[in-house]
Amino acid sequence: MNIEEYLRRDYVATLLKEGRRIDNRKLDEFREIKIEKGYSSEKAPGSAFIYLGNTKVLVGISMDVGEPYPDRPESGVMTTNVELRPIASPLFESGPPREKAIEIARVVDRGIRESGAIDLEKLYIEEDRVWIAFIDIHVLDDGGNILDAAGIAAIAALLDTRIPRYEDGVVVRGEWTGKLPVTCTPVPVTHAKIGDKLVVDPNLEEEYARETQLTVTTTDTINAMQKSGIGAFSSEDVDSAIDTSFKKAQEIREIVEG
């Protein structure tokens, strides 16, 4: 049991009963989002550093050439990995990703994959050779809602990504032949349930106080949803979360694409 969590929980919940959030945001208001695309552009084909309030996440995209999946021989490959670095929180430990990191990675992955944001067909090179896009999410400071920060930074980094030159079976580093084909901008929006209220983009204190949360990733349709954490939602909760997600995603999309 985390003592800080235990002590902060009641305060956040009590305040919210009066409709107020601990940092005075509206219930459907995100913290300030700042995105720096091309943060590691000297080396990485694509990257984006995001500040979502206090939460800091750096996403790097690596492009490599490899074999396609046997069942999709003419399609490129994407993989998503999340590293919750120990520097980001006293609660994170070194070592291979555990369930929290894996869940975040898979929800981010689903939003991008299912929306068809990366045009994988265009990543075909020749027989048994396709581009592989590695989305590596490096979490540096946990101020809450790592998932949305990771998902927003991931699509921002993909929009920044260049495809390296590929000659005689070798990837030429530092030379580019064009941009990664990105067709749309999926945006995850996470809703935390605290008491009977839903708030978007929970900060760390709100994460301590939340029972459960729901992430909805949208483009012009819904592409991924994930309920996470112990607790329950009513179907009205989910309906309202979906409507809010479409609205918020559009606002964030303008920041990401801008």
- Residues lying near another protein in the complex (CB under 8 A): 1, 71-72, 97-99, 102-103, 105-106, 110, 113-115, 212, 214, 221-235, 237-239, 242-243, 246
CA 11 to centroid of chain Cα atoms? 28
Q: What is the 3-state secondary structure (H, E, C) of 1-12?
A: CCHHHHHHHHHH
2 vs 177 by CB, closer to another protein: 2
C-beta of residue 106 within 8 angstroms of C-beta of residue 86: no
Kindly state the smallest distance separating residue 121's Cβ from another protein, in Å.
9
Kindly state the smallest distance separating residue 39's Cβ from another protein, in Å.
26
74 vs 175 by CB, closer to another protein: 74
66 vs 229 by CB, closer to another protein: 229
47 vs 219 by CB, closer to another protein: 219
Q: Which of 133, 159, 134 is nearest to 50 (CA)?
A: 159
Kindly state the smallest distance separating residue 166's Cβ from another protein, in Å.
25
Kindly state the smallest distance separating residue 214's Cβ from another protein, in Å.
7
CA 52 to centroid of chain Cα atoms? 11
Three-point CA angle 48, 188, 3, nearest 5° = 90
Give me the amino acid identity at 168: D
